[in-house]
Structure 1
Amino acid sequence: MLTTLMSIMIVLLLLGFPMMVPLISGALVTLLVYFPKLDPMTLIQQTVGGVQSMSLIAVPMFILAADVMTSGQIANRLLNFVVAFTGHRRGGLPIATAAACTLFGAVSGSTQATVVAIGTPMRPMLLNAGFSPCFSTALIINAAVIALLIPPSVYMIVYGVVGGASVGEMFIAGIGPGLLIFIFFAVYCYFVSDPTKVVVRATRKEKLKAAKEAGLGFLFPVIIFGGIYSGVFSPTEAAAVSVLYALIVEAFIYKSLKFKDLPRIALDTGVVTAVVFVLIAVGQAFSWTISFARIPNLILPALLGDAPSKLRILTVLSIAYFIGCMFVDPVVVIMILTPIFRAPIASSGIDNVLVGIIVTLQAAIGSTTPPFGCNIFTAIPVFKQKYWDVVRDVPPFIFMMIAVSVLIVVFPQIALFLRDMAIR
């Protein structure tokens, strides 16, 4: 059964079909061949049911908010702020790039939007300061994945729906790992940078001006988190608030957005949302099929043993998601692997929020890991670089994120201490 399922998927992928086709085809053929008495309509019901969760309403809202802010001035104002305060120090420009990606991630929640919004103005500054094109691009596409851990995060929402974890708790738990990755990147940038590659120190007046202009950007996560944890609105409602806030700031305060721009932005959001939701729908059908066929019972005993420890479960889970996200869209990987690991996670008593953060981190690493990381293929047309030039300086950043992943597995409180403080 497993051989049939995998063979169908591999053949269809090699023939160039989009990921949704191998997923649904593999599930359908498996049910027809091995469970002929099962009504095929069940698969359709699972497909439709995959996108019926109310929590998924937040996905298009956060995507729309990110598109609005990418089209406006929030990203540039945040960038000017961090450059004003760090650009004159050793490694200041690379550190400013990582910091701007982190701040914009707390606003947008989209790694690809961060690549475009921060990378487009920042990369020429890095090149003018003498940093190599390969290093500059590698830094941008890797720092952009912090957006997946600094909430809001689409992948956290998807895991929350599939894995049954609290999205609100995952939002707060992602802050610690996201900041730790930023610290690792900042230290690395400091030591690999030439002390002479800096910008002119900003005056006190310029710093105050940059801080004032970026103030509304900083207020965004305060409103979102404050609203969620004060009980004013839910994480799903926070997504709608984020769209409203982005529109008010960009259209009425900064006046960087015209109403004639809204149809284009809405269309871009609709296209991305459609792709995500189709993957979630067919992923749900596929995950239900492998659970119904008891395929996890064929795989997990060989990987985990009879009585696996929490450490072993988290290690195997991390490796599985990491490898999967190297080749396939993280949404698909979450939909496929989460049902496989659900039983051992529940039986071992591992905190589901911790699992969600580890899964999101693997998705972040996979977004920049060759061969098929989505940030790689975003950077190629945006920065007009060849594939090998984009990935050449990526390995050090990948190793640092893997190190953070290991630390979280060994010391879970890195991810959970803020969550525990928030819900007491």
Structure 2
Amino acid sequence: MSSALLILLGLVVLLFTGLPIFAGLAIFGGLLIMNGAGSFGGLTEIIFNKISLYILVCIPLFTYMAHLMIRGRIVDDLYETAYTLTRHLPGGVGIATIAACMVFSAISGSSVATALTIGAVAIPQMIRYGYSPQVAYGLVAAGGTLGILIPPSGPMIIYGVATDTSIGGLFMAGLLPGLLLAGIFMLSTSFHQRHAKREKRATLQEIGSALRKSAWAIALPCMVLGGMYLGVFTATEASAIGAMLALLVGTAIYRTIGIKEIWLAAIDASRTSGMLFMILAGAAIFSHAITKMMLPQQIVEFVLSADMGVYGFLIAMMILILILGMFLESIAIILITSPVVLPALGILEISPIWYGVLLVINLELAMITPPVGMNLFTIKAVTGAPIGQIIRGAAPYAVLMIVGLLLVLLFPQLAMWLPSTML
């Protein structure tokens, strides 16, 4: 167990130097292999076997779908629709912000993209309706974190590949906890902003008009997730259908996508996917190295000897991931910890799907936790506000997120019920 901790600590220290994640994983893993085997033989085969998996096709396709919808301005009316439906409620503009984040999360699969896109529209609106800037910043930073929990989610795909867990099952498992967190945020906003300015209830004509404007932005992710839930297609097939539908809607219905937008969306999706595949290649080397050194077996022996139990083990892992999340990017945390943790999950009979949801919620928390909370710096980039003010605004939502994490920990069916009903 001590050697496992030393290796993980050494990798974390190496990544702190600013070395790219893929390079840190590959170099450190390569050195471990060289130390044990005396050569780098077989590394190319290890990498090829990892990144040639059929399921990985869904990474570029889901990313392409998101970029097409954004460049085609299919998602532009999301916030206005949410505001039309909620403007009469206490804290209505804040609730609209969370609702828009929730739907955009199901399109982008990215916390940073969600905070960036919705924040640019919602923050000025909330301040205009009497919200303090600090509260507005915190609300968007927290709402943006839903991007990696509500499917389709990039980190869930990476976790599913790293642990050989059903990606469709993970997507369905993240849906109810994502809605739960969004609901907690909405209730808190409604209570604390009950005296803020609000408008009269929208008429049926206004509601109908708003829903028509954003109908496709709402319908596309519903069709993709619904098809997976009903067993009509797999996660990989869903990504291809989603990309195709986004292209058809943008070119034939909205008519906002031309050859230039198709090309630029493809370039953006290729860059994002290429980065993820490089990280996966480095992770393949690191995972192979620690497997050869039998570190997972050491972890299993430690868990058995410590008699921690299911909840003791999960709480210890959540604390460790929270600490790592303060310094490392979420994909790195998934790829560093998953090969080590997976055998222990089997010994303790913990569902990897349940653990995956707990992991992603914890990674969400890291997005608004200093010193390296990516959503905090995203809001700073959008507003130019002092980082301390943004951190103070996000702090109450970090506490609410811990409450959500504890609820999913204590009531596993919040994550496991929907996957159990899939066809």
Per the normalisation by structure 2, the TM-score is 0.92
Match of 2:242, SS state, is: helix
Partner of 1:17: 19
Q: Equivalences for 1:160-179 in 2 at 5 Å?
A: 160-179=160-179
Partner of 1:412: 412
Distance 1:217 1:4, change over 3 A: closer
Question: What is the deviation of 1:101?
Answer: 0.7
Question: What is the deviation of 1:402?
Answer: 1.3
Question: What is the deviation of 1:303?
Answer: 6.4
Query: Which residue identity is paired with 1:382?
Result: V
Distance in 2 between residues matched to 1:11 and 1:229, nearest whole Å: 41
Query: Which residue identity is paired with 1:50?
Result: K
Distance in 1 between residues matched to 2:311 and 2:291, nearest whole Å: 24
Distance in 2 between residues matched to 1:168 and 1:95, nearest whole Å: 29
Partner of 1:275: 275
Query: Which residue identity is paired with 1:28?
Result: G
Q: Is the 8 A contact 1:313 1:345 kept in 2?
A: no
Question: What is the deviation of 1:299?
Answer: 5.2
Distance 1:416 1:9, change over 3 A: closer
Tell me if 1:371 matches 2:398.
no
Give CA-to-partner distance per residue, 1:388-416, whole Å, 9 cap, x none.
23322111111111111111111101111
Partner of 2:217: 217
Which of 13, 26, 31 is matched with 2:28 structurally? Answer: 26
Query: Which residue identity is paired with 2:19?
Result: F
- Between the two proteins, the alignment pairs up a number of residues equal to 421
Distance in 2 between residues matched to 1:173 and 1:4, nearest whole Å: 33
Distance in 2 between residues matched to 1:7 and 1:154, nearest whole Å: 26
Q: Equivalences for 1:24-423 in 2 at 5 Å?
A: 24-33=26-35, 35-37=36-38, 39-298=39-298, 305-423=305-423
Higher RCO, 1 vs 2 (CA within 8 Å, ≥6 residues apart): 2
Query: Which residue identity is paired with 1:353?
Result: I
Question: What is the deviation of 1:23?
Answer: 2.0
Q: Is the 8 A contact 2:68 2:261 kept in 1?
A: no
- After TM superposition, the structure 1 stretch with the greater mean CA deviation from structure 2, 281-290 or 95-104, is 281-290
Distance in 2 between residues matched to 1:211 and 1:329, nearest whole Å: 36
Q: Percent identity?
A: 29
Q: Is the 8 A contact 2:22 2:281 kept in 1?
A: no
Q: Is the 8 A contact 1:142 1:368 kept in 2?
A: yes
Question: What is the deviation of 1:346?
Answer: 0.7
Distance in 2 between residues matched to 1:17 and 1:409, nearest whole Å: 34
Q: Is the 8 A contact 1:141 1:376 kept in 2?
A: yes
Match of 1:338, SS state, is: helix
Q: Is the 8 A contact 1:321 1:363 kept in 2?
A: yes
Give CA-to-partner distance per residue, 1:33-84, whole Å, 9 cap, x none.
3x144x3133343333332221111111111111122223332322222101
Give CA-to-partner distance per residue, 1:153-176, whole Å, 9 cap, x none.
111111111112111111111111
Structure 1's unaligned 5+ residue stretches are none
CA RMSD in angstroms comes to 2.2
Distance in 2 between residues matched to 1:284 and 1:168, nearest whole Å: 23
Q: Is the 8 A contact 2:297 2:343 kept in 1?
A: no
Question: What is the deviation of 1:184?
Answer: 0.8
Distance 1:407 1:246, change over 3 A: same
Match of 2:270, SS state, is: helix
Question: What is the deviation of 1:305?
Answer: 4.2
Question: What is the deviation of 1:251?
Answer: 2.5
Distance in 2 between residues matched to 1:257 and 1:113, nearest whole Å: 20
Query: Which residue identity is paired with 2:166?
Result: S
Distance in 2 between residues matched to 1:148 and 1:13, nearest whole Å: 22
Distance 1:135 1:204, change over 3 A: same
Match of 2:233, SS state, is: coil
Structure 2's unaligned 5+ residue stretches are none
Question: What is the deviation of 1:150?
Answer: 1.5
Question: What is the deviation of 1:5?
Answer: 4.0
